[in-house]
Structure 1
Amino acid sequence: MAVALRALLRSAAGTALLPPPPRPLLGVRAYSAGAPFQYLSVQKTGAQQSVGLIQLNRPQALNALCDGLMEELSRVLEAMESDPQVGAIVITGSQKAFAAGADIKEMQNKTFQECYSGGFLAGWDKVSTVRKPIIAAVNGYALGGGCELAMMCDIIYAGEKAQFGQPEILLGTIPGAGGTQRLTRAVGKSLAMEMVLTGDRISAAEAKEAGLVSKVFPVEKLLDAAIACAEKIASNSKLVAAMAKESVNAAFETTLAEGLRTEKRIFYATFATDDRKEGMTAFVEKRKANFTDS
C-alpha cells in the first residue's frame, strides 16, 4: 500500500507531465488496448516498435495510485503481454513523481471487513506476474505504493533526484502491496526496517548503494536510458527472456536449493526451443542470431 502525503499533494498543483526526452523517441506510436485511458499515456516505441511505454498520467495528484489507474495499468499490461511485437515494457511517471503513493481518499473510510472480503490491493500484483521484462524509470517521488510499484518491476532505473520511501507508518498503517517484503529482500533487514518504522526516504544514490536500483541517470536522460535497455532486452528471444525472468525470480522468492532446481529445469527447457539452436549456431558461425521467439 502506498501513501500520498498531504504535503506532497499540496505541492502537486501545476505539476507538468514528463517533458519530451532530449531526442525524439524512435518510431513512437500510440498504443490501443480497448477503451481510452484516463490515467495513463501509452505508446509503443523503439526502432522496431518493440518497447511498450507506459506513463502514469495523474499529475494533479503526483500520480497517486487510485483504483482507476491500477485497473488501466492491469488492462494495458495484459494487452502488451499478448502483443508479439512488444519484447519489454517501461513504466514511468513525471519528473516530479513516479508515484507519490496511493489515493488516501479512496481508502480513508474502508473497514477491515471491506479490505478482507474484497481482497483490497490484490489486483496490484498484476505488474509482478507479467512474463515480459518490465523496467521502472523513476524520477521524483516513489513513495509507498509508488515504491512498491517500482519494486514489482524487474529493473529499476532512477533519476538522480528520485526519492524512495515507505511512509505508511506516518498514517497509522503499514505497507500492503509488498513494501515490507520486496524492500527487505532488496536492501536487507536493517535498512528496510528503518524505512518502514520511521517513514524516512532514501535518495537515488542511497537506493543504488543499497541495491534497490540498478543505475542512476541525470533526470533528462533517464527515460532514454530505460528505453535503450528495454530495446536491448527485446532484441533477444522473447521466449527465452521470459524463461530467464522466471529463473531469476525463483532466486528472489525461494530457497537456494529450490532455485537451483528451477534454474536447471528451465535451462534444459531452452534446448527444446528453436531460438537456443539458432543462438548457438550463430555463435559458432560468427554471425548475429536471428531469433524467432520460438
Structure 2
Amino acid sequence: MDHRSDHRTGTEHLTVARQGATMIVTLNRPEAKNALSIAMLVGLYDAWLAADADDTVRSVVLTGAGGSFCAGMDLKALAGAGMDGERYRDRMKADPDLHWKAMLRHHRPRKPVVAAVEGYCVAGGTEILQGTDIRVAGESATFGLFEVRRGLFPIGGSTVRLPRQIARTHALEMLLTGRPYTAAEAERIGLVGRVVPDGTALDAALDVAERINGCGPLAVEAVKASVYETAEMTETDGLAAELKRGWPVFGTADAKEGARAFAEKRDPVYRRA
C-alpha cells in the first residue's frame, strides 16, 4: 500500500504519512522493536499536535515498523546516550512533560486514534495503547505490563486507566503478574477490539479510519470528547454534559448536509461548518 510521506513532521525514529484524510504515524525503530527513544517521543508529540491542527486530518492510525508495535522504554536511549537524544535535549528541557504527552498520558488528541498492533506491544507499548481509541491487533501480537517483574512501576498511567478500560480483576492480574498476554486474551478481556490475521492490522485499522473519515468531523470529535469527558461523572451529570456537547452539532451546516445527502441518496460532503 502506497502512503504519501509528510516530510514536515517526523524524526529518525518516527514517520508520518497520509492516506486521504488519515494521518499514519509509525514508530520506526524496528531494530529495537520500536523501543521508545527521545527522537521517537518528540516525533510522536509533534504528530499529535500536527493532526489536531490540520482540519484535513480526520483520523490517525498509530502503528509500528518491522512487525512490532512497541517494546517499551529504552532506558539507554532515553538517557540521551550518543547522537540519539542530543538533538532533542532542548525540547525535553523546555517541556518536562513532553514524553508523557507523546505517550498519550497527559494529552488526548481530539481526532480519533486507531492502533494497528503487530508483534510486541509490551510495557510502555501497552501503556501507549491505553491512550488510543480503537485497537486492532494481529493474531501473534503480544501484550503485557512487565514492570513489576523488574521491580519497576508502570507509571505511564496504567494503574489508573487500565482498571477503567477492562474489568478490575483482569487489570490487576496484568499489572501484578507482569505476564505476557496473547492477542486472543487481549481481545477476550477487552484490551483490544479486534484480532486479524498477522500482517493485516494496518489495513484493518485504515479501514476503520476510512469509515470514521466518511462521518461528520464535528460530530465525530464531539462524540469522542463526550465519551471521555463524562466517563467519571454521575449518570445525571454525564447526561447533562452530553446535551451541552451534542445539541450544537444539530445546528451545524454539516448536520443539514448529512440529512440532505440521505434524502438525495448520495454521499455527504462535510465542510467542518
TM-score, structure 1 length as denominator? 0.81
Q: Which residue of 2 aligns with 1:233?
A: 212
Q: Which residue of 1 aligns with 2:224?
A: 245
Q: Which residue of 1 aligns with 2:21?
A: 50
Q: Which residue of 1 aligns with 2:252?
A: 273
Deviation of 1:120 after TM superposition, in Å, equals 8.1
Q: Which residue of 1 aligns with 2:149?
A: 170
Percent of aligned positions that are identical = 36
> Separation in 2 of the partners of 1:104 and 1:158?
26
> Separation in 1 of the partners of 2:265 and 2:65?
43
Q: Which residue of 2 aligns with 1:152?
A: 131
Deviation of 1:118 after TM superposition, in Å, equals 4.7
SS of equivalent to 1:216: strand
**What count of residue pairs does the alignment treat as equivalent?**
258
Q: Which residue of 2 aligns with 1:29?
A: 4
What does the per-residue CA deviation read over 1:172-195, in whole Å, with 9 as the maximum and x for residues that have no partner? 121111111221112211111111
Q: Which residue of 1 aligns with 2:163?
A: 184
Amino acid at match of 2:11: F
Q: Which residue of 2 aligns with 1:263?
A: 242
> Separation in 2 of the partners of 1:68 and 1:174?
23
**Equivalent of residue 35 in structure 2, options 56, 64, 75:** 64
Q: Which residue of 1 aligns with 2:91?
A: none
Q: Is the 8 A contact 1:95 1:219 kept in 2?
A: no
What does the per-residue CA deviation read over 1:195-247, in whole Å, with 9 as the maximum and x for residues that have no partner? 11110121111111111111110012211111111111112122221111101
Q: Is the 8 A contact 2:25 2:61 kept in 1?
A: yes
> Separation in 1 of the partners of 2:241 and 2:208?
26
Deviation of 1:290 after TM superposition, in Å, equals 2.0
Deviation of 1:255 after TM superposition, in Å, equals 3.4
Q: Is the 8 A contact 2:36 2:78 kept in 1?
A: no
TM-score, structure 2 length as denominator? 0.87
Q: Which runs of 5+ in 2 are unaligned?
A: 80-94
What does the per-residue CA deviation read over 1:109-150, in whole Å, with 9 as the maximum and x for residues that have no partner? xxxxxxxx9558433354741111110101111111101111
Residue 59 to residue 146, structure 1, CA distance change in 2 (3 Å): same
> Separation in 1 of the partners of 2:12 and 2:27?
10
Residue 95 to residue 37, structure 1, CA distance change in 2 (3 Å): closer
**Equivalent of residue 123 in structure 1, options 75, 79, 101:** 101
Q: Which runs of 5+ in 1 are unaligned?
A: 1-23, 109-116
> Separation in 2 of the partners of 1:52 and 1:120?
21
> Separation in 2 of the partners of 1:81 and 1:219?
30
Residue 153 to residue 211, structure 1, CA distance change in 2 (3 Å): same
Structure with the bigger RCO (C-alpha within 8 Å, sep 6+) is: 1
Amino acid at match of 2:117: V
Amino acid at match of 2:140: K
**Runs in 1 of length 4+ with deviation above 6 angstroms?**
none
Deviation of 1:86 after TM superposition, in Å, equals 1.4
SS of equivalent to 2:202: helix
SS of equivalent to 1:89: strand
What does the per-residue CA deviation read over 1:35-93, in whole Å, with 9 as the maximum and x for residues that have no partner? x6210122101xxx211111111112111112221111111221122222211110101
Q: Is the 8 A contact 2:14 2:39 kept in 1?
A: no
Q: Is the 8 A contact 2:34 2:69 kept in 1?
A: yes
Q: Is the 8 A contact 1:121 1:177 kept in 2?
A: no
Amino acid at match of 1:206: E
SS of equivalent to 1:220: coil
Q: Is the 8 A contact 1:101 1:144 kept in 2?
A: yes
Pairing 1:290–2:261 present? no
Deviation of 1:282 after TM superposition, in Å, equals 2.6
